[in-house]
Amino acid sequence: MVCLFRAVWGLMNSPVIIPSDPKELIDLACSGNRAALARLISKIEHRNQDTEKLVELLYPLTGNAQVWGITGPPGAGKSTTVDRLITHLRAQGKKVAVVAVDPSSPFSGGAILGDRIRMQEHSGDNDVYIRSLGTRGRHGGLSHSTKEVVLAMDAAKFDIILVETAGVGQTELDILKLAQTVMVILVPESGDSIQMMKAGLMEIADLFVLNKADRPEADKLMRELTMMVGLNDHDEHSWMIPVCKTEANRDVGVQELLQVVASHQEWLKKSGKLEEKTKDFLKEEVVDILVAELKKSLDSILKTDGGKELLDQLYRKEIAPYQAAHLLAGRD
């Protein structure tokens, strides 16, 4: 009786024990265990003393996934498009992961309930993994965390990783630099948002998606986008940014969109641009690591009595900002 109780108790409380050892955690996450992957991503996201070790172990396992960026103003149909892309990619037998760093995304809990319920369609599918990353109080660090979360998903053998951001603001655009193919989704009424996004838009878009293309005003935006794309410098070796028309809610044009993404991926490989993009990404990762370490150590120093006294002197204008900075860094 006691034995039986113990056995049941044991089963109830340790279905699979999630290891805390970095190597074991990664092995389990990469074997397809979702709870281990969730724990791994949380550890990366929350950054503790294990983060470095985890990234070191993950890095050699990466490099197989395609990373696609998806951005656009709220209401453009990003989540509907992501939803459709998942369905099509699953039909092709691909494993798909989604990282939502968009406060208005249903994945990160920002949008109306209906959207969130619709996404449940994929929730029983073990080869679809959806994760949202908080944006509160992250400052520059969000882009850094997102990169490392993508490494974990890559190592966990997802074929396609979709990174969704709101597409306004420099931080959001910076995040998209980790993507190989960036699609910018717009709807006929996005006129204002285009205005707003224009600055960074042409730099990051590999293709435009004109969603809700059945609306009467769609032609106007189509003309504007085609003109904008045409103004971009290009020669015969460069990628001509295409404009794809979709009606994501009726699944119109999504298959064609996937073909365009595939041809962009092919162009990336053939042109040597993929290697260049990957190296740029690695360069930023290295810089991000050192900036994060600098900020952390400055934060500690500024909390000491000496640090506080330095800030007080600065506040009283006895010293100036650059002087304070150099004193802090021990260079004066």
Q: Does 92 bind its own copies (CB under 8 A)?
A: no
227 closest CA partner among 212, 209, 241, 214: 241
Nearest distance from residue 58's CB to its own copies, in Å? 8
Residues in contact with its own copies, counted by CB under 8 A, come to a total of: 63
Q: Single out the residue of 13, 195, 216, 305 in contact with its own copies (rule: CB under 8 A).
A: 195
Q: What would the x/- binding string for its own copies be over residues 6 to 35, using CB under 8 A? A: ------------------------------
Helices 141-155 and 51-58, axial angle in degrees (round to 10): 40
- Report the residue number, 214 or 276, with the smaller CB distance to its own copies: 276
Q: Does 291 bind its own copies (CB under 8 A)?
A: yes
Nearest distance from residue 302's CB to its own copies, in Å? 6
Q: Single out the residue of 87, 127, 157, 171 in contact with its own copies (rule: CB under 8 A).
A: 171
Query: What is the spatial distance between Cα 98 and Cα 107, in angstroms, rounded to a whole number?
Result: 9
Q: Single out the residue of 33, 50, 88, 103 in contact with its own copies (rule: CB under 8 A).
A: 103
Query: What is the spatial distance between Cα 100 and Cα 104, in angstroms, rounded to a whole number?
Result: 9
Nearest distance from residue 261's CB to its own copies, in Å? 24
Nearest distance from residue 134's CB to its own copies, in Å? 8
Q: Does 330 bind its own copies (CB under 8 A)?
A: no
Q: Single out the residue of 7, 64, 315, 332 in contact with its own copies (rule: CB under 8 A).
A: 315
Q: Single out the residue of 111, 187, 205, 213 in contact with its own copies (rule: CB under 8 A).
A: 111
Phi and psi at 207, nearest 5°, equal -160, 150
- Report the residue number, 19 or 75, with the smaller CB distance to its own copies: 75
Under rule CB under 8 A, which residues in 137-166 are in contact with its own copies?
137-140, 142, 166
Q: Does 317 bind its own copies (CB under 8 A)?
A: yes
- Report the residue number, 200 or 242, with the smaller CB distance to its own copies: 200
Q: Does 121 bind its own copies (CB under 8 A)?
A: no
Name the segment binding its own copies (CB under 8 A); options: 84-92, 205-213, 245-253, 274-282: 274-282
For every residue of the chain, which 3-state class applies, written as one string?
A: CHHHHHHHHHHHHCCCCCCCCHHHHHHHHHCCCHHHHHHHHHHHHHCCCCHHHHHHHHHHHCCCCEEEEEECCCCCCHHHHHHHHHHHHHHCCCCEEEEECCCCCCCCCCCCHHHHHHHHHHCCCCCEEEEECCCCCCCCHHHHHHHHHHHHHHHCCCCEEEEECCCCCHHHHHHHHHCCEEEEEECHHHHHHHHHHHHHHHHHCCEEEECCCCCCCHHHHHHHHHHHHHHCCCCCCCCCCCEEECEHHHCECHHHHHHHHHHHHHHHHHHCHHHHHHHHHHHHHHHHHHHHHHHHHHHHHHHCHHHHHHHHHHHCCCCCHHHHHHHHCCCC
Q: Pull the structure tokens for residue 20.
A: 């805390």
- Report the residue number, 19 or 103, with the smaller CB distance to its own copies: 103
- Report the residue number, 198 or 269, with the smaller CB distance to its own copies: 198
Q: Under the rule (CB under 8 A), what is the footprint of its own copies? A: 52, 55-56, 59-60, 63, 74-75, 103-104, 110-111, 135-140, 142, 166, 168-172, 174, 192-193, 195-200, 203, 275, 278-279, 282-283, 285-287, 289-291, 293-295, 298, 302, 311, 314-315, 317, 320-325, 328-329
